């Protein structure tokens, strides 16, 4: 299952890089949440898609996310992924870290496919 989830996350990263937000939304649960930035959460696919469009624009439409070290904790139809998420973009200054310790929660749907329920690229930095 670990390999399956890593491949799934890679597909998500590719969709972000290619700004293929319709495909990206197919990888989320209907009631998913995205931490846009500390203090700002997008809820549901419509808000998440709008947020990704704004994020792409913020990063001059050249955001490239990749994953470094990753730990996957799985039980039943739920998985917690703790990942080093690296962001690359053609942007000289950003108020946000480009090297993050993300936390993601995935759920399996009735077809056995993984979907993202909680997308938090800031991980425990939200506590600060």
pLDDT tens-digit series, residues 45-97: 999 999 999 999 998 899 999 999 999 999 999 999 999 999 888 766 666 65
Q: How far apart are CA 34 and CA 47, in angstroms?
A: 9
Burial of 69: CB neighbours in 10 Å, binned 0-12, 13-18, 19+: exposed
pLDDT at 94: 64
Return the H-helix or E-strand segment holding 7. Answer: helix 2-17
Give the global pTM.
Answer: 0.90
Q: Which residues make beta-bridge pairs with 87?
A: 65
Average pLDDT rounded to a whole number, residues 96-102: 78
């Amino acid at each position: 299952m670990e390999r399956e989830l890593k491949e799934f996350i890679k597909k998500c990263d590719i969709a972000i890089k290619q700004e293929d937000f319709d495909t990206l939304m197919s990888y989320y649960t209907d009631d998913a949440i995205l931490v846009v930035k500390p203090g700002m959460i997008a809820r549901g696919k419509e808000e998440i898609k709008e947020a990704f469009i704004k994020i792409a624009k913020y990063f001059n439409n050249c955001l490239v996310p990749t994953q470094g070290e990753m730990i996957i904790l799985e039980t039943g139809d739920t998985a917690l992924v703790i990942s080093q998420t690296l962001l690359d973009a053609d942007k000289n200054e950003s108020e946000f870290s480009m090297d993050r310790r993300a936390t993601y929660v995935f759920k399996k749907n009735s077809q056995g496919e993984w979907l993202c329920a909680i997308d938090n690229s800031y991980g425990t930095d939200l506590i600060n």
